[in-house]
Amino acid sequence: MEFTVYSDFTCTECYGLNEQLVALGVSAAVHWRGVQVEPALAVPMRSLDRRALDRIEDEIGEVQRRVDGVVMHLPRGKPRTLKAIVAVASVMRQQPARAAAYRDALYRAYWRDGTDISVMAELQRVADAAEVPRFIDLDNPDAAETVEGWDLDWATERLGGVPRVIRSDGKILWGLKPMHEATAFFRV
């Protein structure tokens, strides 16, 4: 069975799902497709106002209720994610064995440390920590084209928000589910 995951780094539920994928041992086996949900965000990221922070804090609480032991901290801002998505696609194309570890590290860098993943220097720092070889071009033009294809697929499928997981049998996991439901979905 194959699984295609549509996700964005700054979505609380996407991070929760990614942590579930890691816990289930399927993170490296899924076909991850990054989707930039808020393309108008600033680079570098700007601090969020109190209302936005309160909303994200509520979302974090909901994720922590669904995913036992997930570590999340309130980030100071919300970065545009296109560069991070292209960076992951670049690693997927050039060093597929390191892609899942890099993706997982980017999620954690943002949700645990508040790292601005819209800045290339930070993407490289996380890549170094995830042992992605330095010869990898994190801004590969072919990867940018791949990401455009993911966006087109996302728009064509009309799946709504993220996260979404599509199983090769056509079943869809909508949003973040409690661990027992995620386990049943992935352990077919």
Residues whose CB falls within 8 Å of the CB of residue 8, separated by 6 or more in sequence, listed in order: 14, 34, 35, 36, 37, 38, 81, 85, 162
Per the rule left: phi > 0, alpha: psi between -120 and 50, beta: everything else, 152 is: alpha
Q: What is the pLDDT of residue 161?
A: 87
Q: What is the pLDDT of residue 51?
A: 97
How confident is the prediction along the chain (188 residues), in pLDDT tens digits per residue? 999 999 999 999 999 999 999 999 999 999 999 999 999 999 999 999 999 999 999 999 999 999 999 999 999 999 999 999 999 999 999 999 999 999 999 999 999 999 999 999 999 999 999 999 999 999 999 999 999 999 998 888 777 789 999 999 999 999 999 999 999 999 97
Whether 99 contacts 5, CB under 8 Å: no
Q: How many helices (H) and strands (E) does the chain have?
A: 7, 4
Whether 72 contacts 12, CB under 8 Å: yes
pLDDT, tens digit (0-9, with 9 covering 90-100), for 49-70: 999 999 999 999 999 999 999 9
Topology of the domain covering 3-186: Glutaredoxin (3.40.30)
DSSP, collapsed to helix, strand or coil, labels residue 96 as helix
pTM of the model: 0.96
Residues whose CB falls within 8 Å of the CB of residue 122, separated by 6 or more in sequence, listed in order: 109, 115, 116
Residues whose CB falls within 8 Å of the CB of residue 158, separated by 6 or more in sequence, listed in order: none
Max Cα–Cα distance, the chain, nearest Å: 43
Instruction: Report domain extents, the chain.
Output: 3-186
Q: What is the pLDDT of residue 104?
A: 98
Give residue 42's identity as a one-letter amino acid code.
Answer: A
The DSSP letter of residue 117 is T
pLDDT, tens digit (0-9, with 9 covering 90-100), for 124-147: 999 999 999 999 999 999 999 999
Give residue 70's identity as a one-letter amino acid code.
Answer: V
